[in-house]
Structure 1
C-alpha cells in the first residue's frame, strides 16, 4: 500500500476468531468463502457435506440444492500464513515450538499485575514477531491461574468461618454436598431451582421456540424475524433472565440434539461468536463425536465420551462458582470452577445448525 514505509513493522490487530474455522476450531487451512460470506477450511466443509443432498453454510444455513464450487480465498490464506509465521518467529526466539492455534495476547505493560491480567480478558490479539510478547502472555496466563486459585482458597476459608459462626445452615457448595438424597435431587439444589425462558430478541433466524419459550428447535427454514443487533448470526439464543448475585439451578434436556452447548454468557457477548469461545461465556459442549468438553476462559477441557441426557447447571455468584451436572440416569458432578462476571450472566444455548429438528428443552426441576 502506497505511503507505508516498507521497513516499518506494523502490528496487526485481529478479533478473537478472525482466522478461525468454527467447524474444527483451528486456524483456517485452505480457506474457502461461501456466497453468504462465511469462511471455513475446505476439508472441513467437504467432510460435513459428504455426498449431499443439500449444501448449507454451517453458520447461517444458507445453501443450495447443487454442490458449490469451493475456491480458495487467497487473502485469508495469506493472512493465516503470515499469522502462523509471526507466531513461529515469536516462539522460536525463545526456543518454543510454533503453534498454529491463535491465543490471547497481553495488554501493553504499565498496569499492576493482576489488573493487567483482568483487563486482558477482553483484549484483542496483537500479532507481531516479538519474543517479549510471548513471555508476557505466559506471565499473564500464570497470573490468571494464580488469581483463580487464590479466589477459590479465599472463598473456602470464608465459608468455613461462616459455618463456625452459624451463619450457614446448609452449604450450597456443590463439590462438598451430595447431589441426591434418597434417590431424589438434593433439597439444597431444588430450593435454588428456576425455570428460565428463551429471549426472543437474541434468537437466531435459524431457530424457533415453543409457545412457553422453554424449547428451542433448529428450524427447517430461516424464520422471518425482524432484524435486531441483539440477534445471533449462528444457532444460538440467550434466556431473558440475568443473574448478578444469588444461587440458581436449572436443567436442560439434551436427548434430542446431536451437537449442542449449554452454559452462561454476558449479554455483551458478540453475536457472531460461538458460546465458550469468548472471555465472557462458559459452556458444556457435546460435539456429537463421542466427546464431552467444557469451554471456560477460551480454553477447552475434555471430560469424557459419555453424553449426558439431562444437564444441570448451577450458578452460585455469591460464592463465585459454576458447575455442570449429569442428572438423568446416574446423577454426578461433571465440572466445577470459580467464575466471576463483570456484568450479569444469562443462561445460553447453542445448537448445531446443520441438523433441522434438533432441540433443547428447559425442563422443570424434579425433586
Structure 2
C-alpha cells in the first residue's frame, strides 16, 4: 500500500493516543494482547469493574498477566521535552519510522522511493509539527437538528439540547425525513476524526449511530448496509449493522460517547460512566460521508440529551 506523506503522518499520529482518555499517551503500558493504554487510564477502568480484567478494545482476558511499561514509547514521547518544538520537528523522520514499527504492529507502510521523507516539500514537513503537537485530539462536535431531518413524533429543544418524543396530539404536522421515530443531525463528516456524547438517562429505548445520507425514509438505523448503531431495546444492549444484531454484554449505559475516526475507518461506542470503556466498534468506509442519527422508542415518553463541552 502506497501512501502520501500526509497520510503516513496522520496514520502514525492517530496511533499515539490512548483510546480511553483520547489524549497522547502518559506512561504507556502494553497488555499481553498488544494494545497500549495510559497506565492510569487502564487501572481506573479496571477499578470500576467487578468483572475479570480484560482489554477494553479486544476483550482479551489479561487477568493472569501484569502491566508492562512500554519504555520505547515513553522515550519517543519524551522527544517533545528534549529541545522544544524545533527538536521535535527535526527528529520527525526517525519518529515516523519508529512509530510505524512499534505502534502499528502488522500494518506496513510503503513509502514512494522517489519521494523520501527527507526531501518532501518544506510546507508538507510543517504538517508533521501541526498534527503531532496539536492535532492528536479528536474534535468534539456540538450536533444541531432541523425539523426536516426528523420524524413528526420528535421535537428538539435548543435550550436544553434535547430530542424527545411527544404525545400524538401534539405531534408536528410536518412529516419529516423518516417514517420511524428517528432523527438525523445536520452535520455530515468526510475524513474527520470527531466525537459526540449522548445522555440516555431519560430513555427506555434508544439507538445512536451514523448513516450514509442515502438512508431512505422507510429504513431504520442499523437495519441497512449504510447504517451502524448501538441500541438499547427490550432490556438488551446490542450493535446493529446491515440488519445483523450483535449482543453487547453490558448493563444499560447512562451515557454514550460516539467516536468516528475516519482516517482509521473506525466507529466506536464508549460508556461515559465506565471510564470510557469501549462497548463496541465497527470498521467503516473511511471515505464516508457519515451523518449522526438517533432512534427513540416512540410509544412512550423518551429523550436523549447531547451534553455541551
For this structure pair, what is the TM-score category when the shorter chain's length is used for normalisation?
A: 0.5 to 0.7
Contact 1:278 / 1:297 at 8 angstroms: preserved in 2? yes
**SS at 2:13's partner residue?**
coil
Contact 2:18 / 2:38 at 8 angstroms: preserved in 1? no
Distance (Å, rounded) in 1 between the aligned partners of 2:11 and 2:244: 38
Compute the displacement of 1:281 (Å).
Answer: 0.4
CA displacement, residues 94-136 of structure 1 (integer Å, 9 cap, x when unaligned): xxxxxxxxxxxxxxxxxxxxxxxxxxxxxxxxxxxxxxxxxxx
Q: Aligned to 2:269, which of 320, 324, 339?
A: 324
Q: Aligned to 1:233, which of 179, 186, 190?
A: 179
Distance (Å, rounded) in 1 between the aligned partners of 2:273 and 2:284: 25
CA displacement, residues 148-179 of structure 1 (integer Å, 9 cap, x when unaligned): xxxxxx79x999x947x996286357384548
**SS at 1:201's partner residue?**
helix
What are the equivalent positions in structure 2 for 1:200-219 lying under 5 Å apart?
200-212=147-159, 214-219=161-166
Answering whether residue 145 of structure 2 is matched by residue 198 of structure 1, we say: yes
Q: Report the CA distance shift for 1:322/1:179 in structure 2 as closer, same or farther (over 3 A).
A: farther
What are the equivalent positions in structure 2 for 1:66-145 lying under 5 Å apart?
none
Contact 1:170 / 1:188 at 8 angstroms: preserved in 2? no
Q: Aligned to 2:206, which of 231, 241, 260?
A: 260
The equivalent residue for 2:16 is: 171
CA displacement, residues 19-62 of structure 1 (integer Å, 9 cap, x when unaligned): xxxxxxxxxxxxxxxxxxxxxxxxxxxxxxxxxxxxxxxxxxxx
Answering whether residue 307 of structure 2 is matched by residue 363 of structure 1, we say: yes
Give the TM-score normalised by the residue count of structure 2. 0.57
Compute the displacement of 1:224 (Å).
Answer: 2.5
CA displacement, residues 266-298 of structure 1 (integer Å, 9 cap, x when unaligned): 121011121100111000001141x11001233
Contact 1:204 / 1:237 at 8 angstroms: preserved in 2? yes
Contact 1:206 / 1:234 at 8 angstroms: preserved in 2? no
Distance (Å, rounded) in 2 between the aligned partners of 1:322 and 1:341: 10
Give the TM-score normalised by the residue count of structure 1. 0.49
Compute the displacement of 1:331 (Å).
Answer: 2.6
The equivalent residue for 1:277 is: 223
Distance (Å, rounded) in 2 between the aligned partners of 1:216 and 1:179: 35
The equivalent residue for 2:249 is: 304
Q: How many residues align?
A: 203
**Structure 2 portions without partners, runs of 5+:** 21-34, 46-133
Q: Report the CA distance shift for 1:256/1:158 in structure 2 as closer, same or farther (over 3 A).
A: farther
Answering whether residue 283 of structure 2 is matched by residue 347 of structure 1, we say: no
The equivalent residue for 2:232 is: 286
Contact 1:171 / 1:177 at 8 angstroms: preserved in 2? no
Q: RMSD across aligned C-alpha pairs, in angstroms?
A: 3.5
Compute the displacement of 1:199 (Å).
Answer: 2.8
Answering whether residue 171 of structure 2 is matched by residue 223 of structure 1, we say: yes
Distance (Å, rounded) in 1 between the aligned partners of 2:281 and 2:150: 28
The equivalent residue for 1:78 is: none
Distance (Å, rounded) in 2 between the aligned partners of 1:180 and 1:295: 32
Higher relative contact order (CA 8 A, sep 6+): 2
**SS at 2:147's partner residue?**
coil
What are the equivalent positions in structure 2 for 1:142-153 lying under 5 Å apart?
none
Compute the displacement of 1:180 (Å).
Answer: 9.6
